[in-house]
């Protein structure tokens, strides 16, 4: 069939429109939405796996990070094996289990929580006079004070357990009935049936955390059976629906002990009613078993000397990030006993930087505030560092790679081969030289840069062993001494080193743990003057990603706004449109996907400066990345 000129024009126009709207639809589905001027009503302090949020005026679900702010009329849902602890501004706490969903509306004098499915535990702040109304499929629950649990699944009707305080429920005829402490209400088609809770669960309490040392931990179960019930059976499961039970045993008395490995667990008791033939269940409590994570101060290391000549140095203090902590308290003092602290603050980050510490010796430690009730806070050891004035700026120190390292062609192709050194705020630039001999006589590469990292033209160097040095230059043009000599070898493939093992020893198969490193910019001050792009680089080991999603956020006070998003298959990306950037604090999220499934997610942070570091506000100097990798001090 031959088309005339007019028909071809119409056809191409329709195809263009279809492609345009398909592209717009894809971008809308994959965009990250900022909070903007929405009212923040609470925060998610702790979560496992994936918890999502949907704004009132949006149709897109977005993945929430730990310590994410929640806004009024958000809809929250959790996926399988997920849980979250939400703390509202009035002190009310909401624990949500897996496969749960609710909408939170705090408009007006009567806060409302619309519960759709799953399991919730609400701890109402007794000091707040207003009720919290919970609605679900036409049923209404009013929590005046205390603790309540709500369960709803496809197989079961809505159930309410009142552990503590005062709660009323509204029946179909509009009449309100009080549900006293220690009773439960079952919402059935025939009406609301109020019963006494047959078994009171004492230990472990809901949200209790146990540490497995090293592989398992003895868990003590304790309960109280009310009169009229007998033949208790203890059930422990990985699922709140108890579809697969790990423990299903008859127990005697009011306590039992079992050893459990790492995981999230739900437990309840099933008892027989002496009067009837049916079984009754207690409420469901959830607890966690996890390995004891190492918690310590990381940088500056104990006894580190931080030199400066004229400008006080930017001192970055970092510590281990704990999955079981929601905030950290940093204490800095001139005394080894940390009396009369000169710096003291609480933060959700695991690092903070100061540029106003004067010459002297400082001592510091960090207290990790636990996210779980009845769990002690963790304290790091006390470390010290010295800020010392010197006559000249010291020579730069190599950070990466370590001397004698092999750099493979695969690392070069994936842009994972980077020369990195410790930056200094008093240096304007660095002269990097690479030679084929240790005396630096035959220089094959030389470049001056204002950053503290550099990617040489590896293809120009070729294969073989090379040596590198750095010389720093101050704003006045004075040069530092030459750095120590760095040696590295460029090879096609790295040599595999097989460990010597005992042939009689049987070892389990071990898989390489997937890791995602936010390489740059991360924990750094980025000087943008004279640059035409902002370059992002990361490294993935132990897994092959199909796609990377990068989202860039700008921070202004407590607000965090997404300003840029890109999907790529490369392990690097250059942001060319610098018009969307401004001086201040930024963070970026990177998610790794394979077959459309989320594998890993990490966060990095940095500060942008256009001229001098002193143009930044003090509030900008808080990094929120999980781990500092490189530091550029301008």
Residue 86 CA to residue 568 CA, distance in Å, equals 33
**Separation of alpha carbons 140 and 172, rounded Å:** 9
Q: Which pLDDT score is estimated for 336?
A: 93
Asked if residue 381 has pLDDT above 50, the reply is yes
144 touches 168 (CB < 8 A): yes
254 versus 41: which is more confidently predicted?
Answer: 254
Query: For the residues 585-598, what does the mean pLDDT come to?
Result: 78
Confidence of residue 490 (pLDDT cuts 50, 70, 90): very high
What is the pLDDT at residue 341?
93
Confidence of residue 386 (pLDDT cuts 50, 70, 90): very high
Q: What is the pLDDT of residues 421-430, one digit of tens each?
A: 887 778 889 9
Q: CA 223 to CA 202: how far, in whole Å?
A: 5
- Tens-place pLDDT, residues 320-366: 888 788 789 999 999 999 999 999 988 878 888 888 899 999 999 99
Q: What percent of the chain has pLDDT over 90?
A: 18
Task: Give the per-residue pLDDT at 220.
Answer: 94
More confident residue, 22 or 26: 22
- The mean-pLDDT minimum among 15-29, 183-197, 361-375, 515-529 falls in 15-29
Q: Which of 359, 405, 345 is nearest to 619 (CA)?
A: 345
Of the listed ranges 10-24, 64-78, 261-275, 289-303, the one predicted with least confidence: 10-24
Query: 496 pLDDT exceeds 70?
Result: no
Closest by alpha carbon to 450, among 529, 534, 354, 518? 529
Task: List own/partner pairs for 141-145 with CB under 8 A and 24 or more apart.
Answer: 141/167, 141/168, 141/169, 141/170, 142/167, 142/168, 142/169, 142/170, 142/176, 143/167, 144/168
- Average pLDDT on 363-378 reads 87
Helix (H, G, I), strand (E, B) or coil at 5: helix
Task: Tell me which residue of 132, 139, 65 sits closest to 105, measured CA to CA.
Answer: 132
Q: Mean of the pLDDT values across residues 542-567? A: 75
315-324, 361-370, 524-533, range with greatest mean pLDDT: 361-370
Q: How confident is the model at residue 22 (pLDDT cuts 50, 70, 90)?
A: low
Burial label for 352, CB within 10 Å (0-12, 13-18, 19+), is buried
3-state secondary structure of 18: helix
pLDDT band at 488 (very low <50, low <70, confident <90, very high): very high
Question: Residue 622: is its pLDDT beyond 70?
Answer: no
Alpha-carbon torsion, ordered 523, 620, 359, 321, to 10 deg: -40
Tokens of 488: 């590295």
Choose the most confident range, by mean pLDDT, from 330-344, 395-409, 580-594. Answer: 330-344
Classify 615 as helix, strand or coil. Answer: helix
Query: What is the pLDDT confidence band of residue 248, given thresholds at 50, 70 and 90?
Result: very high
Q: What band does 29 get if pLDDT is binned at 50, 70 and 90? A: very low
Instruction: Compute the average pLDDT of residues 175-194.
Output: 79
Contact between 170 and 150 (Cβ < 8 Å): no
Q: How far apart are CA 443 and CA 34, in angstroms?
A: 50
Residue pLDDT, tens place only, 74-99: 888 877 667 778 888 777 888 887 77
- For residues 50 and 177, the model is more confident at 177
Task: Give the residue-averaged pLDDT of 295-320.
Answer: 87
The predicted-structure confidence for 152-176, as pLDDT tens digits, reads as follows 765 567 788 888 887 888 766 677 7
The pLDDT, as a whole number, for residue 351 is 82
For residues 285-309, give the mean pLDDT.
Answer: 87
Distance CA 205, CA 222 (A): 10
**52-61 tens-digit pLDDT:** 777 766 667 7
| pLDDT exceeds cutoff 70 at 116 | yes
The pLDDT of residue 171 is 67
What average pLDDT score do residues 145-157 get?
A: 73
Most confident of the following: 554-563, 589-598, 623-632: 589-598
What is the arithmetic mean of pLDDT over 163-190?
Answer: 78
pTM greater than 0.85: no
Residue 604 tokens read as 């990095």
* Contact yes or no for 160/150 (Cβ under 8 A): yes
Q: When comparing pLDDT for 591 and 305, which is higher?
A: 305
Kindly provide the residue ranges of all beta strands, DSSP E only, lying in 320-397, ordered along the sequence. 325-333, 343-347, 351-354, 360-370, 378-379, 383-389
Please answer whether residues 287 and 302 qualify as being in contact, where contact means their C-beta atoms are separated by less than 8 angstroms: no
**Residues across the chain:** 634
Integer angstrom CA distances of residue 504 from 316, 501, 507, 509: 48, 9, 10, 15
Cis peptide before 521, with omega less than 30 degrees from 0? yes
How far is residue 634's CA from residue 632's CA, in Å, rounded to a whole number? 6
The answer, yes or no, to whether residue 287 has pLDDT greater than 70, is yes
Could you tell me if 613 and 355 are in contact, meaning their C-beta atoms sit under 8 angstroms apart? yes
Label residue 146 left, alpha or beta by phi (over 0 means left) and psi (-120 to 50 means alpha): left
Supply the pLDDT for residue 419: 87
How many of the other CB atoms lie within 10 Å of CB of 368?
A: 23
Q: Which residue has the higher pLDDT, 52 or 572?
A: 572
Per-residue pLDDT, averaged over 185-202, amounts to 82
Q: Which has more pLDDT, 217 or 582? A: 217
Give the end-to-end CA distance of the chain in Å, rounded to a whole number. Answer: 67
What mean pLDDT do residues 295-314 have?
Answer: 87
What pLDDT was estimated at residue 619?
A: 39
By mean pLDDT, which of 33-42, 265-274, 452-461 is the weakest? 33-42
Q: Collapsing DSSP states into helix, strand and coil, what is residue 256?
A: strand
Compute the distance between CA of residue 463 and CA of residue 492 in angstroms, rounded to an integer.
8
The DSSP symbol for 356 reads -
Q: Is the pLDDT score of 253 beyond 50?
A: yes
Under a CB-based contact definition with an 8 Å cutoff, are residues 38 and 55 in contact?
yes
- The per-residue pLDDT of the chain, averaged, comes to 79
From the list 116, 183, 178, 109, the residue with the least C-alpha distance to 141 is 178
| Least trusted range by pLDDT, from 114-128, 239-253, 279-293, 560-574 | 114-128
Please tell me the least confidently modeled range out of 187-196, 448-457, 508-517, 561-570.
508-517
137 within 8 A of 102, measured Cβ to Cβ: no
């Amino acid at each position: 069939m031959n088309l005339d000129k007019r028909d071809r024009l119409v056809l191409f126009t329709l195809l263009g429109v279809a492609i345009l709207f398909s592209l717009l639809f894809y971008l809308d589905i994959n965009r990250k939405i900022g909070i903007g001027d929405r009212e923040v009503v609470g925060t998610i302090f702790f979560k496992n796996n994936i918890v999502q949020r949907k704004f009132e005026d949006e149709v897109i679900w977005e993945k929430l990070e730990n310590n994410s702010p929640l806004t009024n009329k958000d809809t929250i849902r959790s996926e399988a094996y997920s849980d979250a602890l939400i703390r509202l501004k009035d002190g009310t706490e909401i624990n949500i289990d897996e496969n749960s969903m609710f909408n939170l509306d705090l408009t007006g004098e009567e806060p409302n929580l619309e519960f759709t499915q799953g399991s919730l535990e609400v701890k109402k702040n007794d000091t707040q006079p207003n009720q919290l109304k919970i609605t679900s499929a036409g049923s209404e629950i009013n929590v005046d004070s205390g603790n309540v649990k709500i369960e709803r699944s496809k197989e079961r009707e809505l159930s309410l357990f009142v552990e503590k305080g005062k709660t009323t429920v509204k029946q179909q005829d509009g009449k309100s009935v009080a549900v006293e402490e220690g009773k439960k209400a079952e919402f059935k088609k025939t009406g609301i049936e109020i019963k006494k809770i047959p078994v009171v669960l004492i230990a472990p309490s809901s949200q209790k955390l146990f540490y497995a040392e090293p592989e398992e931990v003895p868990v003590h179960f304790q309960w109280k059976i009310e009169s009229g019930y007998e033949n208790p059976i203890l059930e422990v499961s990985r699922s709140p629906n108890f579809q697969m039970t790990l423990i299903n045993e008859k127990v005697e008395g009011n306590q039992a002990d079992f050893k459990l490995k790492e995981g999230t667990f739900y437990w309840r008791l099933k008892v027989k009613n002496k009067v009837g033939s049916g079984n009754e269940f207690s409420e469901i409590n959830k607890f966690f078993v996890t390995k004891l994570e190492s918690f310590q101060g990381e940088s500056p290391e104990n006894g580190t000397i931080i030199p400066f000549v004229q400008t006080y140095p930017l001192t970055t203090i970092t510590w281990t990030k704990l999955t079981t902590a929601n905030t950290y308290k940093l204490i800095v003092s001139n005394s080894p006993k940390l009396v009369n602290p000169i710096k003291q603050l609480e933060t959700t980050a695991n690092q903070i930087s100061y540029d106003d510490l004067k010459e002297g010796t400082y001592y510091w430690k960090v207290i990790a505030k636990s996210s779980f009730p009845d769990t002690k806070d963790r304290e790091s050891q006390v470390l010290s560092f010295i800020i010392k004035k010197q006559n000249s700026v010291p020579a730069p120190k190599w950070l990466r790679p370590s001397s004698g390292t092999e750099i493979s062609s695969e690392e070069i192709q994936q842009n994972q081969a980077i020369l990195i050194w410790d930056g200094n705020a008093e240096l304007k630039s660095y002269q990097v030289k690479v030679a084929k001999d240790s005396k630096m006589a035959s220089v094959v590469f030389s470049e001056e840069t204002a950053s503290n990292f550099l990617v040489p033209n590896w293809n120009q160097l070729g294969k073989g062993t090379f040596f590198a040095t750095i010389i720093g230059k101050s704003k006045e043009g004075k040069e530092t001494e030459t750095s120590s000599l760095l040696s590295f070898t460029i090879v096609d493939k790295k040599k595999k080193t097989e460990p010597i093992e005992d042939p009689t020893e049987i070892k389990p198969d071990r898989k390489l743990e997937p890791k995602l490193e936010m390489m740059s910019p991360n924990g750094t001050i980025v000087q943008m003057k004279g640059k035409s792009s902002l370059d992002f680089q990361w490294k993935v080991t132990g897994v092959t990603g199909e796609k990377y999603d990068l989202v860039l956020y700008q921070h202004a006070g407590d607000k965090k706004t997404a300003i840029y998003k890109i999907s790529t298959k490369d392990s690097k990306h250059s942001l060319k449109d610098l018009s969307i950037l401004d001086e201040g604090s930024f963070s970026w999220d990177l998610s790794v996907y394979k077959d459309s499934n989320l594998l890993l997610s990490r966060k990095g942070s940095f500060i942008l400066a256009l001229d001098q570091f002193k143009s930044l506000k003090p509030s900008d100097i808080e990094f929120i990345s999980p781990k500092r990798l490189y530091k550029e001090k301008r």
